[in-house]
Amino acid sequence: MKFFLDTADLGEIAEAASWGVLAGVTTNPSLYARIGGKLSDFETHVRRICDLVDGPVSAESTATGRADIVAQGRALAALSPQVVVKVPVTVEGLAATRALADEGVRVNMTLCFSVPQAILAARSGARYVSPFVGRFDDIAEDGASQLGDIVEALGNYDLSSCGVAHETIEVIAASVRNAGHVTQAALLGADIATVPFKVLKACVAHPLTDRGLDAFDKDWKKVTNA
Ligand code: E4P
């Protein structure tokens, strides 16, 4: 499973990229608003993210009609070959994704909450589909089980004929709230987990690692002071 960072914060992206484990970035309008982003800076900001990470960068379309989504998608894709256009799973989104995929533009279908939505995303030519885990948990439902169903259902078929350059759709576990969700995503066979920076940090940490380091440090001092 690959790790993407789910943020628009350049500092977080630069830091995570320096760890050598970052395979991509996903953003959305809320994440850009959270860092105080302005519309006039958006394209420059997306380019800056692309400069920081060696991998796909999802930038979301905010249009609702298919023609507008396609136009916005083309403009976003023109910013960098790394850009993947994020499009919600709606009727208009599916039609726009088909059009963009036919032009060779990679799409990440977002706001996916069910198996039928995921299969439709694949059939529309999306390169990625993003089932949201945490938002199910927010309403006391089982997000991991939905994710598992989606991974299994997509795995039942050869969908390589649907997408851009016959690349098979990859499942991005999104709306990840904690390291437990990352474990579940990996065990369920998600291709990618896109995680907030605080979750990435939590994934590195373990109290037994800290305790072990303390013990090694104390014992090494005995060696060096002997
Ligand atoms: C996915 O790409 C979304 O940007 C994101 O994971 C949504 O997460 P949230 O439910 O924490 O807003």
pLDDT in tens, 37-58: 999 999 999 999 999 999 999 9
Pocket test for ligand 1, best of 12, 13, 175 (most atoms within 8 A of CB): 175
pLDDT at 226 over 80: no
E-only strand ranges, the chain:
2-6, 22-26, 57-60, 83-88, 107-112, 128-131, 170-173, 192-195
**Mean pLDDT computed over 79-97:** 98
Pocket test for ligand 1, best of 27, 111, 112, 132 (most atoms within 8 A of CB): 132
- Beta bridge pairs of residue 195: 5
pLDDT single digits (tens) 116-169: 999 999 999 999 999 999 999 999 999 999 999 999 999 999 998 898 888 899
- Determine the pLDDT at residue 1: 98
The catalytically annotated residue of 38, 86, 201, 221 is: 86
C-beta atoms surrounding 24 within 10 Å = 22
Task: State the pTM of this model.
Answer: 0.95
- Determine the pLDDT at residue 29: 97
What is the extent of the structural domain holding 112?
A: 2-225
**Mean pLDDT computed over 104-125:** 97
Give the CATH number of the domain where residue 86 resides.
3.20.20.70
Domain count for the chain: 1
pLDDT at 66 over 80: yes
